[in-house]
């Protein structure tokens, strides 16, 4: 297993190499922060929180801070496939710019169909230029599923009428690392729900390179920025789970960190959305919560500047970061009503399960299978 000091050294070497490259933005990160009234103290607090998010020891926060400042040395190409653009909005629609959104502004975004000014032929040229000029060095982020039926004809992009399938394969060839942003790019999402007429697939199914999957509909901006920061800092992918999701974000079930968990363990459940148990914040399992089967850090990281997350707001988790959740987790407002998910089950969370009388909640497929599959990197 790699030690933290070896990883720290690797980060130092990577950042020293990035520092030699020319800045690709007119403004430094510190100038951007000043413009939006973000203090150095806020920045150091943010660096410490990203360090904790990435499950790294506190001394790494120096590296995180430096990596944030050097993010404009790393070219990022962002492609859109079949999707709703909600993942990009998760990052860019903050009510006030915070450091997560500033980092996204600061990284060297070479191509992004929603955010760039170019259109038509110029947009196509920009993409070709970025793929050629930064070959072997750019980070490729893909949002949306890839339609594959009829040779990909259900999605064409740009003046040349290239299919999404072609664009992904071309862009993947010269990428230093590839990130599927959101459940559609990771696992096909709603486009791949039965009967999936367009043959929509996750990116990792159409190329033969490792793809890091950021499941979520949308994934939180923290998980997107944390992944970008990890790549800037170390130039490689973090440890991944069996679905190629970063372990630091998807290593625990929603159920494990849910503030309603005590009620689950005590057998206290909401029976109707408007009942007194709902008002008392009881467990939403009987209202269809899929937190016991879902791996994500929503309860700890929350959304909208850490204000809330779905279960706190009163609705169960619908399992949006899991493969095939549109089919496998439905009906979203009813318990799964079966004991096994993907044919796997093991240690039951016995208290709630026994009280439910159905032994319905097993440890999720991911955790059990991880025992056998192992991680990409220890
Ligand atoms: S079933 Fe849902 S609401 Fe209940 S404790 Fe688990 S995650 Fe929380
Ligand atoms: S609580 Fe569940 S459904 Fe909601 S964002 Fe998190 S993983 Fe997705």
pLDDT of residue 343: 43
pLDDT of residue 1: 57
> Would the CB of 318 count as within 6 Å of ligand 2?
yes
The span from the CA of 261 to the CA of 106, in Å, is: 39
> Would the CB of 214 count as within 6 Å of ligand 2?
no
> Would the CB of 258 count as within 6 Å of ligand 1?
yes
> Would the CB of 216 count as within 6 Å of ligand 2?
yes
- Total count of residues recorded for the chain: 378
pLDDT of residue 25: 83
186 touches 144 (CB < 8 A): no
Q: How far is the CA of 233 from the centre of ligand 2 (A)?
A: 28
Q: How far is the CA of 36 from the centre of ligand 2 (A)?
A: 30
Equal CATH topology for 4-249 and 254-373? no
Q: How far is the CA of 362 from the centre of ligand 1 (A)?
A: 13
Task: Classify 254-373 by CATH class.
Answer: few secondary structures
pLDDT of residue 122: 85
> Would the CB of 217 count as within 6 Å of ligand 1?
no
pLDDT of residue 182: 97
Q: Which residues of the chain are modeled with pLDDT < 50?
A: 339-351, 354-355, 357-378
pLDDT of residue 100: 82
The pair of structure tokens assigned to 222 is 């923290």
239-289 per-position pLDDT tens digit? 999 999 999 999 999 999 999 999 999 999 999 999 999 999 999 999 999
Q: How far is the CA of 32 from the centre of ligand 1 (A)?
A: 40
186 touches 322 (CB < 8 A): no
Closest listed ligand to the CA of 267: 1
The span from the CA of 273 to the CA of 280, in Å, is: 11
> Would the CB of 255 count as within 6 Å of ligand 1?
yes
Closest listed ligand to the CA of 291: 1
Structurally, at CATH architecture level, domain 4-249 sits in: 3-Layer(aba) Sandwich (3.40)
Nearest by Cα to 117 from 130, 126, 129, 104: 126
pLDDT of residue 102: 81
pLDDT of residue 338: 52
Counting from 1 in the atom list of ligand 2, the atom nearest the Cα of 216 is 8
- Domain residue extents for the chain: 4-249, 254-373
């Amino acid at each position: 297993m790699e030690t933290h000091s070896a990883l720290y050294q690797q980060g130092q070497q990577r950042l020293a190499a990035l520092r030699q490259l020319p800045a690709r933005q007119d403004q430094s990160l510190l100038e951007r922060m000043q413009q939006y009234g973000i203090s150095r103290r806020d920045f150091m607090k943010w660096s410490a929180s990203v360090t904790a998010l990435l499950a790294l020891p506190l001394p790494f926060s120096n590296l995180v801070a430096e990596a944030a400042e050097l993010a404009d040395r790393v070219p990022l190409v962002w492609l859109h496939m079949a999707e709703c653009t909600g993942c990009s909005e998760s990052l860019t629609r903050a009510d006030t710019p915070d450091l997560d959104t500033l980092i996204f502004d600061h990284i060297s975004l070479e191509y992004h169909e929603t955010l760039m000014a170019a259109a038509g032929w110029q947009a196509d040229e920009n993409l070709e230029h970025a793929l050629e000029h930064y070959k072997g060095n750019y980070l490729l982020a893909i949002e949306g599923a890839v339609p594959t039926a009829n040779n990909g004809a259900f999605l064409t992009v740009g003046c040349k009428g290239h299919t999404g399938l072609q664009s992904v394969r071309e862009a993947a060839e010269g990428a230093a690392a590839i990130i599927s942003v959101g459940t559609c790019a990771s696992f096909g999402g709603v486009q791949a729900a039965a009967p999936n007429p367009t043959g929509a697939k996750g990116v990792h199914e159409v190329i033969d390179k490792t793809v890091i999957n950021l499941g979520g509909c949308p994934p939180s901006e923290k998980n997107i920025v944390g992944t970008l920061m990890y790549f800037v800092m170390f130039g490689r992918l973090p440890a991944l789970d069996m679905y190629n999701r970063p372990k630091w974000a998807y290593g625990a079930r929603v159920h494990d960190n849910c503030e309603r968990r005590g009620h689950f363990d005590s057998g206290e459940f909401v029976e109707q959305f408007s009942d007194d148990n709902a008002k008392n914040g009881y467990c939403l399992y009987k209202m269809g919560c899929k937190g016991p089967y879902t791996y994500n850090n929503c309860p700890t990281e929350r959304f909208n500047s850490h204000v809330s997350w779905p279960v706190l707001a009163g609705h169960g988790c619908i399992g949006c970061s899991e493969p095939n959740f549109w089919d496998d987790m439905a009906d979203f407002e009813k318990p799964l009503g079966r004991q096994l998910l993907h044919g796997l089950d093991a240690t039951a969370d016995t208290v709630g399960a026994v009280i439910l009388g159905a032994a319905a909640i097993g440890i999720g497929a991911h955790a059990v299978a991880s025992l056998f599959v192992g991680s990409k990197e220890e």
